[in-house]
Amino acid sequence: MTSTEFTTADGTCTFVPAPTTPYQGDIARYWNNEARPVNLRLGDVDGLYHHHYGVGEIDRAALGDPADSAYEKKLIAELHRLESAQADILFDSLGAIGRDDLLVDAGCGRGGSMVMAHQRFGCKVEGVTLSAKQADFANGRAKELGIEGHVQARVCNMLDTPFETGQAAGSWNNESSMYVDLHDLMAEHARILGVGGRYVTITGCWNPKYGQPSKWVSQINAHFECNIHSRREYLRAMADNRLVPNAIVDLTAATLPYWELRATSSLVTGIEEAFIESYKDGSFQYLLIAADRV
């Protein structure tokens, strides 16, 4: 595999592996260039920079009066609270994790979930991303927090990670599995997890009962340059790779308030309607699936 030179935020040069396919190159460029306020301003609230969405009821008392000059700031803080609540739900599903365990975040983004996982479990957390800029950002935040020995992001393909077979006690994809082939992804998670290890994904997926991906799902695919899978495909790929689901939780109703609130903010990106309408018409679902490695 060839490498390309990348200058990190502190001015040092490093070499990162080149994407193995043209599509991976497109995705790496997409996320290297991404700087949406909806991701950065929410992360500025407390330094946890997420790349996923939120769940839970809106705290209307915390928002206060929309006519108040501080309302938009409170709205951003509320959206961020719901995103962190989503990560907590994922961690709740990982089971018992010890301080000596390793957790792997496949598609770690700017590293907010890795920091939260380390703060919760006290263990080492490693993430992978195709974006050198995301990895640099995540590692910079870990250094600022003094946890660089426990939290690390690497630039690599989540289908071909550097972890040893059976090394991880838990792993997850938090809204990142739509960028890869599911059978290849589940095979890699099954490889790196020890027997009894837990895999969790939270993802949007199209509903097979709808028949085919709806126009809203197609819009989401185009917006994020991804390929959303069906619920059935997740379960089939897990079954084929010794990952046995122990929980399937429909979070669709729980995530809708987040999207409806976000659609009223100054941070709209134009994709809010597609999420809201697809959740309402049943063509799109927001699921948590937890599975044990057997």
Mean pLDDT of 152-174: 97
**Residue 44 CB partners (closer than 8 Å, separation 6+):** none
At residue 72, does pLDDT exceed 70?
A: yes
Q: Please give the pLDDT value at position 183.
A: 98
Mean pLDDT of 128-156: 97
Mean pLDDT of 243-251: 98
Kindly indicate the confidence band of residue 111, based on its pLDDT and cuts at 50, 70 and 90: very high
Which one is the CATH code of 20-293: 3.40.50.300, 3.30.70.270, 3.40.50.150, 3.30.70.580?
A: 3.40.50.150
pTM, rounded to two decimals: 0.92
Please report, as a single letter, which amino acid is at residue 205: C
Q: Please give the pLDDT value at position 18.
A: 55
Residue 56: strand, helix, or coil: coil
**HSE, side-chain direction, 13 A CA sphere, residue 75:** 21
Residue 172: strand, helix, or coil: strand
Report the DSSP pairing between strands 193-206 and 284-293. antiparallel
**Residue 106 CB partners (closer than 8 Å, separation 6+):** 127, 128, 158, 161, 171, 172, 173, 176, 177, 185, 188, 189
At residue 12, does pLDDT exceed 80?
A: no
